[in-house]
Amino acid sequence: MTTLESLKKPPMYWQKRQSLQQIKNQKGMFEQLMRQTRQCMQEHPEFANDVKGAIQCEVIHPQTLSGFSNFTFHTHPHNIDYPSDADIKTTNRLKKEWLIIGLADRNQVVAFNKSDGFKKIVARF
């Protein structure tokens, strides 16, 4: 027998249903994380021409690994505005709907959605 209580969604279900606008509202946090990446790159000029080495300057949003969000966010020190295969694989493994990348030098954020396999930019902010 179905009861109203059995139809009730758990709190985590509702928290994970963040819209793109709600994600955009976190731009202040994204800017702070991009600032950390820029600072790291300034402290390590040897990474200027070393994309693999610069990964050490990537910063991950704390909610990325949380079950309470439906997005991953990390910075790209070299402003590459598309996700790597590893970015996509991680986002899928974590069962997230959005893949958000901070382009540190541009202080810009790009968003991708799982609906197309995280291939096309759906928003810039």
pLDDT at 115: 96
Q: Mean pLDDT over residues 115-119, rounded?
A: 97
Whether residue 7 has pLDDT greater than 70: no
Look up the pTM and report it. Answer: 0.85
Angle (CA) 15-90-119 rounded to 5° is: 90
Whether residue 65 has pLDDT greater than 90: no
- Reading the block at residue 116, the tokens are 């197309």
Residue 44 one-letter amino acid:
H
pLDDT at 13: 46
d(CA 20, CA 31): 17
pLDDT at 14: 46
Whether residue 3 has pLDDT greater than 80: no
Which carries the bigger pLDDT value, residue 10 or residue 17? 17
Residue-range domain boundaries for the chain: 18-124
3-state helix vs strand vs coil in the chain, percent to 5: 45, 20, 35
pLDDT at 17: 64
